[in-house]
Amino acid sequence: MENADRIKNLPPYLFAEIDKMISKAKEKGVDVISFGIGDPDQPTHQNIVNKMIEAVQRPSTHSYPSYQGLFEYRKAIADWYRKKYQVELNPDQEVVSLIGSKEGIAHLPFCYINPGDKALIPDPGYPVYKTSILLAGGEAVTVPLLADNNFLPNLDKIDPAIAREAKLFFVNYPNNPTGAVAGDEFYKELIDFARQYQIIIAHDSAYSEIGLDGYDPPSFMQYPGAKEVGIEFNSLSKPFNMTGWRIGWAVGNEDVIESLGRIKTNIDSGIFEAVQYAGIEALTNSTNNIQQVRSLYTRRRDLLVEGLQQLGWTIKKNKASFYLWAQVPEGFTSADFSKQVFQQTGIFFTPGNGYGKEGEGYVRIALTVPENRIIEALQRLKESDIVFS
């Protein structure tokens, strides 16, 4: 049985491989403290769980859901954008429900990429951007995110010949894996760039609610012209501790939303309605929950960063997302450093080269670990012979 070329060329998914490695270590009795996958360790907020229980008990939710998503859910998304960003969205034409934002991101290239077509992706970046383009038969052209430009793509350095050929440009702020943020000037330049080269912007905003120290990340959609040139993905996973519920959305340009919705209707049958009712509850009655989540990650960030700095590691506090992006000590590759830390201490940091060539020399550290385990991790690192400076 010979695999199709698209499978032959598809690399193993980074986090699936990490799961396997950690599972094997645990089977050998290692007490693993993993700062790897960004999966919130806290339970879903109780008011959301209660709404799900209530909805599950209604037989009307047990049949096939709407392909586009419940109107009530799409309206809740539109209302959330209006209240939070002063952005007006038509729930029928500019909003589509997703089985988590990852699903929508993976399907979007199939709407626009023909074999051989180009799309721009950030490097380092979420691995699904590249793999979705490869699966669609396209070529992923990387745009470096470098420290000297605050991990923003330098649009002026993108080859105009490449830009003219590219059909999509994936952008992601607050950023995974770097924790970087983008502001007004960048988004305005991005919209001008998209207009100049007729590129669809696909803005991944999955960490929009994880702003720290009072910072409230903007939405791509709030800038004039954004709806003309692209769409924005978001998810309930991170701010509401709902990673396993698989519910998200895309909003923006109605033609792009229609195309994404059309491909979805041919592939999946929508989100379980009870989960959508839980999503409505999250979007309409969970402001306090978000503040609690932000406070939690701020405390963890401060505890971990200050502890690592005391060990001699030069590491900066992130302004948003729950990721630290840290340079490895001189003389190490990302993979070598991650391996040494894991073998000596049972602590796992994700090697940055898993996010692309420009991730080499870094590790990503997720703040999805309880404070008592952060303290334990710092003690293990202190007692090891690992040199951070």
Domain boundaries, the chain: 5-44+288-383, 46-286
Report residue 233 CA to chain centroid gap: 9
Report pLDDT for 174: 98
Alpha-carbon distances, residue 150 vs 153, 194, 344 (angstroms): 9, 21, 32
Rounded CA gap, 332 and 378, in Å? 20
Report pLDDT for 60: 95
Report pLDDT for 15: 67
Contacts of residues 211-214 at CB distance under 8 Å and 24 or more positions apart, as own/partner, are 211/174, 211/294, 211/319, 211/320, 212/294, 212/297, 212/298, 212/301, 212/317, 212/318, 212/319, 212/320, 213/298, 213/317, 213/319
Report pLDDT for 370: 97
Report pLDDT for 352: 96
Tally of CB atoms within 10 A around 233: 26
CATH of domain 5-44+288-383: 3.90.1150.10
Residues 6+ away with beta carbon under 8 Å from 300: 322, 367, 369, 371, 374
335, 363 Cβ separation under 8 angstroms: no
Per-residue pLDDT of the chain (389 residues; tens, 9 = 90+): 888 888 887 777 666 777 787 888 888 889 999 999 889 999 999 999 999 999 999 999 999 998 788 999 999 999 999 999 999 999 999 999 999 999 999 999 999 999 999 999 999 999 999 999 999 999 999 999 999 999 999 999 999 999 999 999 999 999 999 999 999 999 999 999 999 999 999 999 999 999 999 999 999 999 999 999 999 999 999 999 999 999 999 999 999 999 999 999 999 999 999 999 999 999 999 888 899 999 999 999 999 999 999 999 999 999 999 999 999 999 999 999 998 999 999 999 999 999 999 999 999 999 999 999 999 999 999 999 998 87
The overall pTM is greater than 0.85: yes
- Please, what CATH class does the domain formed by 46-286 belong to? alpha beta
Alpha-carbon distances, residue 17 vs 36, 344, 354, 367 (angstroms): 11, 20, 11, 20
